[in-house]
Amino acid sequence: MKAYVLNEAGAVENLVLREVEKPEIKADEVLVETKAISINPVDVKVRRMDETITTIMGTEDRPVILGWDIAGIVVAVGEEVSGFEVGDKVFGMVNFPGQGKAYAEYVASPAYHIAVMPEKVTFEEAAATTLAALTALQVLRPRVKKGDRILIHAGSGGVGHFAIQMAKGLDAYVIATSSARNRDFIMSLGADEHIDYREQKFEEVLSNIDFVLDGIGGEVLENSLKVVKGGGKIVSLPTHQFPEDIQLEADQRKIKLEFILVQSSGEDMNTLKAMLENDELKPHVSKIFPFENMADAHVQIESGRTLGKVIVKL
């Protein structure tokens, strides 16, 4: 089968399409013929830095096959697997953190990391509703309640556009940031307010926020502290270690700072499946690239200008 291998971290040119052995499945796995792959910012971060490859994928071996988000068709089922049959259309985030090896024509996935696709969605839409949607779900569900005022930074991105929809489903009051050109998109997702980060300083116009989802970090995280009320919460997706001064201020005001790393979960994938079926969640796929153009998909993510999700189609 064909797969993209990465011999060493670096530029997109380091992703090389090669013939490799088709994976053999374990007793608790299924073999999926890949039809669509979702590309995320974490894919780019892992590709760029050798240390991140080791940290996220849990291996110092090279080469590696990147990727975690897939949609496809089951072509083989392990002897201990129930609930899946050959021919099922499935989607999920495979072995994250760990080695998903999704940049390939066939992927071996633990059966407990995937779900059967809703009939009404395409492979591309299903692949989009994986890591980013799981992140939004796992962050918001235990932390946001009805009536909360929440701020979602980078609301037009992968995680952000799912988070807006989910937060509205939890009956929260949602404020989201993006550039002006994406305002209509943000509002169409159900946001109550939009802030153009280029023209407005959110820390000067907002206050009394219960929860912040920060997908940017740095100065945005620092300024988010200024708008959260005492006892509130901030989850920062890119910040795994908080600066001492920020942590001190948060502690003094009893604001909970958290870094969350999404985890593979078939149970949560089935929750997303139900949300797709009930029209509670709609993925936005802005760019689709052929498998042979994987590098172009990475370049698109690196641009920082992606609306919704980027998909690679096989």
Confidence (pLDDT) at 277 = 98
Any domain includes 275: no
Predicted confidence (pLDDT) per residue in 107-146, tens digit: 999 999 999 999 999 999 999 999 999 999 999 999 999 9
Please count the other Cβ atoms lying within 10 Å of the Cβ belonging to residue 178.
24
**Is residue 278 situated within a structural domain?**
no
Residue 110 lies in a domain: yes
Residue range 52-59: mean pLDDT, rounded = 94
Percent of the chain with pLDDT over 70: 100
Q: 201-216, pLDDT tens digit by residue? A: 999 999 999 999 999 9
In this structure, what CATH number is given to the domain that contains residue 114? Answer: 3.90.180.10
Give strand pairing partners of 310: 39, 287
Average pLDDT, the chain: 97
User: What per-residue confidence (pLDDT) applies to 221?
Assistant: 96
Strands 193-196 and 173-178 come out as parallel
Report whether the peptide linkage leading into residue 63 is cis, meaning its omega lies within 30 degrees of zero: yes
Percentage of the chain modeled with pLDDT above 90: 99
Q: Read off the pLDDT of residues 61-82 as tens digits, 9 standing for 90 and up.
A: 999 999 999 999 999 999 999 9
Same domain, 253 and 138: yes
Is this model's pTM higher than 0.85 or not? yes
Alpha carbon distances (Å) from 193 to 44, 81, 112, 198, 222: 31, 46, 38, 15, 21
- Domain count for the chain: 2
Angle between helices 294-302 and 41-48 (to 10 degrees): 100
- Per-residue pLDDT, averaged over 164-192, amounts to 98
- pLDDT, mean of residues 25-50: 97
- Average pLDDT on 228-253 reads 95
Give the 3-state DSSP-derived string for the chain, with helices as H, strands as E and coil as C: CEEEEECCCCCHHHEEEEECCCCCCCCCEEEEEEEEEEECHHHHHHHHCHHHHHHHHCCCCCCECCCCEEEEEEEEECCCCCCCCCCCEEEEECCCCCCCCCCECEEEEEHHHEEECCCCCCHHHHHHCCHHHHHHHHHHCCCCCCCCEEEECCCCCHHHHHHHHHHHHCCCEEEEEECHHHHHHHHHCCCCEEEECCCCCHHHHCCCEEEEEECCCCHHHHHHCCCEEEEEEEEECCCCCCCHHHHHHHHHCCCEEECCCCCCCHHHHHHHHHHHHCCCCCCCEEEEEEHHHHHHHHHHHHCCCCCCEEEEEC
Residue 115 lies in a domain: yes
Give the mean model confidence (pLDDT) for residues 217-241: 96
Same domain, residue pair 6 and 20 = yes
CB count in 10 Å sphere of residue 260 = 14
In a domain, 266, yes or no: no
Q: Which residue has the higher pLDDT, 2 or 305?
A: 2
Residue the block writes with tokens 């980013």: 132
> Per the structure block, which two tokens stand in for 89?
């259309």
- Check residue 74 and give its pLDDT: 98
Q: Does one domain contain both 14 and 99? A: yes
Whole domain around residue 139: which residue ranges? Answer: 133-258
Beta bridge partners of 77: 30
pLDDT for 105 equals: 98
Residue 264 belongs to a domain: no
Q: What is the dihedral of CA 57, 58, 62, 65, to 10 degrees?
A: -20
Residues 150 and 162 in one domain: yes
Residue 100 maps to a domain: yes
Radius of gyration in angstroms for the set of CA atoms belonging to the chain, rounded to a whole number: 19
| pLDDT value, residue 242 | 96
